[in-house]
Each structure stands twice: as C-alpha cells, then as structure tokens.
C-alpha cells in the first residue's frame, strides 16, 4: 500500500499534515547551509539545491526527496536533532497518516463497510505498471455507486484529482469530454471526421495536459449501461490507451455498471473487476466494521460485544418497518450512523 506521505513519488503539498511539515521546516531551518546539510544527509543521487529563500529551497528539497522515496530518511535525520522538536512533531503527524483504503468513515460522515475485494483492487492500481482500469459490475442496489466515495477519498489522500461522470451529469460523449478537459484546464480538441479518430486525439491531449499539470487523475464513470453508446466507446478507447505508460502514468479509470459481461479483448493485463453483492454484508461484515471503527477511534471494550451488536443490527434490517423501501445497504448504513455515537 502506498503511504500517502512517504511513497507517492511526489510531495503531497495538498495534505494538511504534509503542508504543515513543510511550513515548519522553512520557518525553523532557514540557513541555506543547514538546509543543504540535512538534504545531503538523506543520501541517494540527489541534484544540488539552488540557494534561495528558505521556503523555495525546502520546496525543491522535499520534491526531490519525495521523488527518491527518501522522506522517511529525512525524518530520521531530523529526529537526531533535539533542537528541532517542533519540526519532528509535524513530521510525525504526517508519518501517522492512516491507510486511506481502510478508513472506516469517508468525508461527509459516509460509512464504508465490507468491499474487501474492492479495496484490494484499488491497491493494485497504485503503481503505473499495474492495473489501470477497474470495472464495477453486479446486482442492483449492491453498493456499486458507493464505490465513488472510496475512490475520491483515496485520490485526495494520494494527491490526485478525481472526476465523477454519470447519468444526469452528462448525456453525451461531448459533455463527458468537456467535463474532463474542464478539470484538466485545457481546450477540447476539434471534433474529427470519425468518433474513433477524435477519441484518440482527445486521449493524446489529455496525457499532455496531465503531464503539464504534474497530477494524476481518476476518472469515475457511472451508469454506463444506460448512457449514450458513444460514451462507452470513448471509455473503451481510454482503457486501450492504458497500455501506454505515457497515458497510464497520469490516469486511472473506474467504470461502474459497465454493460455486458465481456471487455475489449485488447485490454489484457490492464483491468480488474469488482462485483459487489448486498448478500456480502452480513453479521461478520458488520462486526468486522465495528472492530475496525473502534481501532481507528481508539475505543476499547468493543471486542466482546461487536458480534452481538452486529447481530441485532442485521435483525432489525431484515424486518424493516412498514413503508420503509430503502435498500438493505442503505438501512445498514443508517443504523450504523445512529449506533456509532453511542459506543
């Protein structure tokens, strides 16, 4: 699993903890010779730093150390310096960032339980040489669309951007491309004589813009089984482009409700699939979630009663009150929202 601070290959300035560490460095270690010494003590084949104001020197140093996977070593060098206690505290806060894929609660107080297969598939997508396309297919009301919340949280933690496209947000391939280029902050290429030629040109320009922005993007496309057919063909072309490292370095593609049971034959080796089912969420899954939540929130004493609480919750969900037409997973989610503050 890529740690959101140490192992991304770039410095995550957009994470509060990482940005605070950066700020403490340039406010505390200000002399160019001191900055250079700490930088050089990290080892590796690092390019020399240009002497300039502390904030710019540290920005360049952190970017180089992150690219060389040496941020952990920098922390070790800092811990040897007792006079840098405040900097070490800020470093430790960044080092203690949790595994986002296993977080029990997402932003907006959304609970994400079970889906262990999905979590493992996301891990496979963390490196440019691994899986770049994820299909999410399964029965209705099985939590497929809920996938987007975990993807968005992971993208944020890894310093990536995410974009969600779905029925109601887009109605045509032109609208899908327009939204993508809005996020990339670039101009949509002119439409060509054939869709396929235009799709290839669009993907080429997407890679150029992502490289310019030095940012990876997760494109999440939902409701593909009911969207206009050219939309699906465009995302098929994006999947095909993932064979090139020049494209897959900058993009990950998550296709929810991908139509049919097959995939394009030329996607070999670049895609994976998750097929959730509402039946997966049982007493074991809810009990496991409660224990995970307790560990994350440092709550003690739940080990002996997690299974009992889960059994009672599932029993209530199986017998909804008259008129309650919410799907099973939504009822479980709402029951947990009520239960957790009482623990």
Q: What is the pLDDT of residue 113?
A: 72
Nearest to 255 by CA among 264, 247, 265, 246: 264
Nearest to 269 by CA among 135, 119, 137, 132: 132
Q: What is the pLDDT of residue 129?
A: 53
How far, in Å, CA of 57 to CA of 59, rounded? 5
How far, in Å, CA of 157 to CA of 151, rounded? 10
The token duo for 174 is 């032109």
Global pTM? 0.76
DSSP 127: S
How far, in Å, CA of 172 to CA of 178, rounded? 10
Q: What is the pLDDT of residue 218?
A: 96
Low-confidence ranges of the chain (pLDDT < 50): 128
Q: What is the pLDDT of residue 62?
A: 95
* Whole-number CA gyration radius for the chain: 23
The DSSP annotation for 287-325 comes to: HHHHHHHHHHTT--S-TTTHHHHHHHHHHHHHSPPTT--
Extended strands (E) in 51-167: 105-106, 110-111, 133-136, 161-165
How far, in Å, CA of 114 to CA of 146, rounded? 12
Q: What is the pLDDT of residue 108?
A: 61
Q: What is the pLDDT of residue 52?
A: 95
Q: What is the pLDDT of residue 194?
A: 92
Q: What is the pLDDT of residue 309?
A: 93
Contacts of 92 (CB under 8 A, 6+ apart): 75
């Amino acid at each position: 699993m890529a740690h959101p601070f140490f192992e991304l290959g770039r410095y995550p300035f957009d994470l509060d903890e990482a940005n605070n560490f950066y700020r403490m460095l340039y406010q505390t270690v200000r002399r160019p010779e001191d900055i250079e010494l700490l930088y050089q003590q990290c080892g590796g084949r690092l390019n020399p730093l240009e002497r300039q104001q502390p904030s710019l020197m540290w920005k360049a140093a952190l970017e180089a150390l992150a690219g060389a996977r040496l941020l952990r070593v920098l922390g070790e060098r800092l811990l040897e310096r007792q006079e840098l206690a405040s900097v070490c505290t800020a470093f430790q806060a960044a080092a203690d960032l949790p595994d986002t894929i296993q977080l029990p609660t997402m932003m907006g107080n959304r609970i994400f339980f079970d889906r262990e297969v999905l979590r493992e598939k996301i891990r496979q997508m963390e490196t440019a040489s691994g899986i770049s396309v994820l299909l999410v297919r399964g029965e209705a009301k099985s939590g497929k669309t809920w996938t987007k919340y975990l993807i968005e949280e992971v993208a944020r933690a890894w310093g990536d951007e995410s974009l969600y496209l779905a029925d109601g947000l887009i109605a045509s391939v032109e609208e899908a491309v327009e939204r993508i280029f809005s996020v990339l902050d670039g101009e949509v290429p002119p439409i060509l004589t054939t869709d396929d030629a235009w799709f290839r040109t669009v993907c080429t320009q997407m890679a150029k813009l992502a490289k310019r922005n030095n940012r990876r993007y997760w494109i999440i496309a939902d409701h593909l089984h009911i969207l206009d057919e050219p939309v699906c063909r465009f995302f098929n072309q994006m999947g095909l482009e993932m064979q090139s490292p020049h494209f897959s370095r900058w993009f990950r593609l998550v296709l929810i409700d991908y139509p049919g049971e097959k995939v394009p034959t030329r996607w070999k080796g670049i895609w994976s699939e998750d097929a959730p089912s509402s039946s997966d969420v049982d007493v074991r899954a809810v009990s496991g979630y409660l224990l995970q939540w307790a560990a994350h929130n440092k709550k003690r004493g739940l080990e002996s009663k997690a299974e009992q609480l889960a059994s009672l919750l599932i029993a209530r969900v199986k017998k909804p009150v008259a008129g309650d037409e919410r799907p099973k997973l939504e009822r479980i989610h709402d029951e947990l929202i009520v239960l957790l503050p009482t623990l």
